[in-house]
């Protein structure tokens, strides 16, 4: 059996391009679900894994003003349950203009994601999320 090495610049470019395309895929390439909320003339589109499992998760957020991505939004976030359980949300701007929201859903059940924007417009939006997995009583959801 002979091993052939790729030597042509065209083949090298094709392989490099395919590799870069794979790297640009979202981390969660499985099924997703999106929700959109509107506030203060802005549109907030949240994309989550579907179903949304317990544990550390990465969510995606687009903030739109009309048809334009609002890349300079200053956001803070918090997830909470009705019983008072809360967790921080780390929000990181991405190079494509979206935001990555990283948080830990410590149990299954109903969670609320509250996002506050302080610039360029001050506003707040809330998303109701259902997380699959165990709940307080140890039942599966």
Span 85-124, pLDDT tens digits:
999 999 999 999 999 999 999 999 999 999 999 999 999 9
CA atoms within 13 A on the CB side of 97: 11
Tell whether 20 is covered by a domain: no
- φ/ψ (deg, to 5) at 16: -60, -45
Q: Where residue 65 sits, what CATH number does that domain have?
A: 2.60.40.10
Global pTM value: 0.75
Q: How far lies 40's CA from each of 46, 52, 76, 121, in Å?
A: 17, 28, 16, 7
Tell whether 5 is covered by a domain: no
pLDDT tier, 31 (very low <50, low <70, confident <90, very high otherwise): very high
Give the model's pLDDT for residue 20: 46
């Amino acid at each position: 059996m002979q091993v052939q090495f790729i030597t042509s610049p065209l083949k090298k470019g094709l392989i490099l391009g395919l590799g870069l395309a794979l790297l640009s895929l979202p981390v969660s390439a499985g099924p997703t679900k999106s929700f959109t909320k509107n506030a203060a003339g802005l549109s907030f589109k949240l994309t989550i894994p579907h179903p949304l499992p317990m544990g550390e998760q990465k969510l995606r957020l687009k903030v739109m003003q009309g048809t334009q991505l609002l890349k300079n939004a200053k956001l803070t976030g918090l997830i909470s349950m009705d019983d008072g359980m809360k967790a921080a949300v780390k929000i990181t701007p991405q190079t494509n203009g979206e935001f990555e929201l990283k948080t830990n859903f410590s149990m299954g059940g109903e969670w609320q994601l509250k996002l506050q924007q302080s610039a360029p417009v001050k506003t707040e939006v809330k998303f109701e999320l259902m997380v699959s997995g165990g709940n307080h009583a140890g039942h599966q959801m």
